[in-house]
Amino acid sequence: MFCKHCGKEINDSAVICPNCGVATDNYTAVAKPAESSQKFNGFALAGMICAIVGLVGGNYIFCMPSIVGLILSIVGMVKVKEYNSGYGFALTGIIISGIGLLIWLIVWIFLGWVWFGLIFMW
């Protein structure tokens, strides 16, 4: 191969011309990162994030983030084979959503007993 800048003969696998220091066509092939064809399972990650939000503050907004997190995590779990990723996120989202829903249920049952007790005390 010949250098496009100085015209001297160089090795075919040279990345930079040893004579003038200009990059060859091989330089762009080496410097360019390989494109990843692997897709990311966004459902699993979104489900886990919603589940965490639901666990932290779900009781104040009627536990909707936990329910959405559970649904997205289940969809993410179904799509694990398609995306070949996201199993841990999806499993974590399902577990945290379940814990959030259980806590929500206990809190509202307790508040119902308190409310029910206050009505019949009068």
- Rounded to two decimals, the pTM is 0.62
Residues 15-28 as b/e (b if ≥16 CB within 10 A, e otherwise) read eebeeeeeebebee
3-state secondary structure of 4: coil
pLDDT for 44: 94
pLDDT for 27: 67
What string of pLDDT tens digits covers the 122 residues of the chain? 888 888 888 888 888 888 888 888 776 655 455 566 678 899 999 999 999 998 887 656 777 888 999 999 999 999 999 988 899 999 999 999 999 889 888 888 888 777 777 667 66
DSSP string, 36-67: P-----HHHHHHHHHHHHHHHHGGGGTTHHHH
Integer angstrom CA distances of residue 80 from 36, 42, 85, 89: 17, 10, 6, 10
pLDDT for 14: 82
